[in-house]
Amino acid sequence: MKAKLLLVEDDEDLALGLRFNLEQEGYGVDRAATLATARERLAEKPPDLVLLDLALPDGSGLDLLREVRARGSPVAIIALTARGTEADIVMGLKLGADDYLPKPFGLAQLMARIEAVLRRSRGSEPSPTSAGKSEAPARGWQLGPALVDPVARLAILGQERRELTPIEIEILRYLAARQGQAVERRDLLRDLWGLDRYVTTRTLDNHIARLRKKIEVDPELPRYLVTVHGIGYRLDL
């Protein structure tokens, strides 16, 4: 079995078709039709990845996303949305979704997104243009008083242990491979999300803001993950 997925989808026909095709690809699939059931499934045994519909009969999937990340869970999450507006997509990514997929979508596209997010969550997807330079040292990255462990997906700051999401680790890998260099936003967007993705610079900025809260002593005055105005970002190790 490739990985265990939790499909949170209330549409019976769509859920049945997705489950059948995902299981044909070797994934273990559990399904929840409501937020309440999804909360129970996540509490019982966290899956490797959640396919989360944002429009559910007992509330918004964004609420569950917010709860999961507030608990510090790094479980990989792909948001499924029929709305497809920039505001909905940005909000989902801002709250910690690793990727999104607007409905309707093709099966091949879904499989590709799942595989990419799972590779990131397992730390096995290299940055496309890093030429092998993005691997973290065995001890991780030391950012002043904060130690980032990419294997455990933790940022350890004093007595606090803050869990990092797969995309946060990939942002750090990408910038660490170019430490001390100003990296353009468009390069990060192209190499981490792909040019065909509906991802805006605001989405990237939101991820950076969340990441700073985990690795910086003062996120409002960052010393390590800094903004290079008019260009993008730089990581100072």
pLDDT band for position 127 (cuts 50, 70, 90): very low
Give span(s): CATH 3.40.50.2300, the chain: 4-121
Three-state secondary structure call for residue 226: strand
Fold of 141-235: Arc Repressor Mutant, subunit A (1.10.10)
pLDDT at position 232 over 80: yes
Q: Pick 92 or 227 by higher pLDDT.
A: 227
Burial 192-206 (b: 16+ CB within 10 A, else e): bbeeeeebeeebbbb
For the chain, give every residue range classified as CATH 1.10.10.10. 141-235
| Arithmetic mean of pLDDT, 76-85 | 79
Which H or E run includes 46? none
Q: Are 232 and 178 in contact (CB under 8 A)?
A: no
Peptide bond into 104 cis (omega under 30): yes
Q: Give the pLDDT of residue 27.
A: 94
Q: How confident is the model at residue 223 (pLDDT cuts 50, 70, 90)?
A: very high
Q: Please state at what angle helix 166-176 crosses helix 107-121, rounded to 10 degrees.
A: 70
**What's the full length of the chain, in residues?**
237
Q: For residue 200, name the pLDDT band (cuts at 50, 70, 90).
A: low
> What does the block give as tokens for 165?
């999401």
Read off the pLDDT of residues 44-67 as tens digits, 9 standing for 90 and up.
Answer: 888 999 999 988 999 999 999 999
- Average pLDDT, integer, range 126-151: 64
Q: What is the pLDDT of residue 133?
A: 42
Domain 4-121 has CATH 3.40.50.2300: yes
